[in-house]
Structures are given as C-alpha cells and as structure tokens.
Structure 1
Amino acid sequence: MATPNHLTRYYADVDAGDIDAAQARLHPEVTFAIHLPAGSRRGTTSEEMVRYLRDRGPVDRAHRPLRTGVDDDLEFVYGAVVEDGVTTTGHFLAAVRVVDGLITRYQVSFDVELALLGVDA
C-alpha cells in the first residue's frame, strides 16, 4: 500500500482538478521531465508545469499509487493511471526532490504496456 507523501498529495490535487493546490506544492523554479509514449515535456518553472496540466483539458483519470518510497529528500511513486474509475491505461514511475516542503525536481515516465506489479498488487 502506498504511503502519502508530497508526490502522492500532488497527484491527489491534480486528480481532483485542483491545479492551484498542485502548483502550491511546486517550487516556482521546479525543473521537470514528463516522459509519455507520444513524447517528452520538459520545463523549468511551475508555470510551465501548470500550463501542461491545463492544456490537457478535462480528463477523467486518476493516479493510483501502488508503492512509495522516501530516501531523505527524494520521494518515489509507482502506480497505475485509471480512466473512468475502471480502466487502467498504463503505469507510471515518478520521482521528486523535495526541499523546504516544495517539489524542486520532478521526473515521471508513463508506459502503456509494461507493468512492474501484477493485478494482485
């Protein structure tokens, strides 16, 4: 079971559509890399990251953390992305660096085929 941390709380805000709350968890100069099957998005500010989130338009998807880890100022989450509350569209592996309670670095990879854990995870 996943333990709540800065990253899981960030995903909960994004999934709830509360982009302002999600942005409040980010350092203004957050550096990020989002790797998706269609390509990568990179940036160096929370405004760029929020623009990416808002440009996606309305989505009915949720991040379901399956495993988490924390090592000093690094946090890790592995989970499933679920659409319509039912359909798993793929899995993600994310890591962040947290300084003074804010996410300063964010890296995530999403894959539609590979699952590290089985359905009984």
Structure 2
Amino acid sequence: MAAPGPREPSATHRKGAVMTLRTYMASMDSDHPERTLDLLEPDFRFLIALPGSEVTGESKEDFAAYIAGRNPKDRSHEILRHSRDGDVETVYGVVTEGGRYTGSFLSAAVISPGGLLSRYQSFFTTSFELVDWANDGSRA
C-alpha cells in the first residue's frame, strides 16, 4: 500500500500564511511566555523530550504548569528550517542562551481548523546538529 500524498491545505493552512509554530516559538522566547497559552486549544496535548527527561501533558493547564516551572535564562529559539503539510507544521532550529548555542530542536504540531495548536511534540538535543548553524560556533 502506497503512503498517502500531501493533503490540500485548508483555508487556515494555506501556503504563505503565518506559521503557528513560529508564533509559538516567538511567544515562548518573549518576556511573557504565559501568553503562549492563547495559541493552544483547551485539550492541547504535548511531549517535550529533553536530554534525560520528558515533559508531557494533556491540557492547556498542564502546559501552564510547564511554563511556570521553566527557567528561560535569556533563551531563544532560532528556526533554521520550517514546513507545513496540511494541518501539520514542523520546525528545526537551535536554542541559544545569552547568544550562545546550547542545542538543537525538531518540533512538530497539529494545527486545529481555528489556527491553534492542538498537539505538539518537540525533541531537544545537545549532541547533534541536523543542519549546521551559521553563527560564530560559540557553545555554552
């Protein structure tokens, strides 16, 4: 059986529209990451895999608890690649703290018809770069 081909994007997911994951990352990096909750469906489910641990949740409230316990330390997500296929968005990039590289991430999300994140999965590693980062190479 052949794998299904790409789906036609709905009006919410048309090519050229602002990617919800880009908005999510910018919000998480802002001075008010709690505003990210406005981008999530009430029954939002997530998995964030970090070296040696995983954070999971099954609601917007669970994600609020994750944000409250997070220590951003001048953290920034620099997106190097992004794509969209129907209701799924993916991004790949690097994380910096104070401008110094700390690791890379690959994240994907299912976007609801209303344009909100309904599911989110992210993997972060400090030991591998899928795409070279064109910076000065500084490491934390």
TM-score, structure 1 normalization = 0.91
SS, match of residue 57 in structure 1: coil
What CA distance in whole angstroms lies between the structure 1 residues aligned with 2:123 and 2:18? Answer: 20
Q: 1:118 corresponds to which residue?
A: 132
What's the % identity of the aligned pairs? 34
RMSD: 1.6
CA distance in 2, matches of 1:32, 1:103: 10
Matches within 5 A, 1:29-108: 29-84=43-98, 86-99=99-112, 100-108=114-122
Larger Rg: 2
Amino acid at match of 2:19: N
Question: Aligned partners of 1:57 and 1:108: how far apart in 2?
Answer: 17
TM-score computed with the length of structure 2 as normaliser: 0.79
Q: Distance in 2 between matches of 1:41 and 1:93?
A: 15
5+ residue gaps, structure 2? 1-16, 136-140
Matched AA of 1:88? Y
Q: Measure, in 1, the Cα distance between the counterparts of 2:61 and 2:73.
A: 20
Which residue of structure 1 aligns with residue 32 of structure 2?
A: 18
Structure 1 residue matching 2:65: 3-state secondary structure: helix
Unaligned runs of 5+ in 1: none
> In proportion to residue count, which structure has more strand?
1
- Residue 68 of structure 1: SS of its match in structure 2? strand
CA distance in 2, matches of 1:55, 1:102: 23
Conservation of the 8 A alpha-carbon contact between 2:110 and 2:119? yes
Range with greater deviation from structure 2 (104-113 or 56-65) = 56-65
C-alpha distance in 1, partners of 2:111/2:83?
13
The one-letter amino acid paired with 1:92 is: F
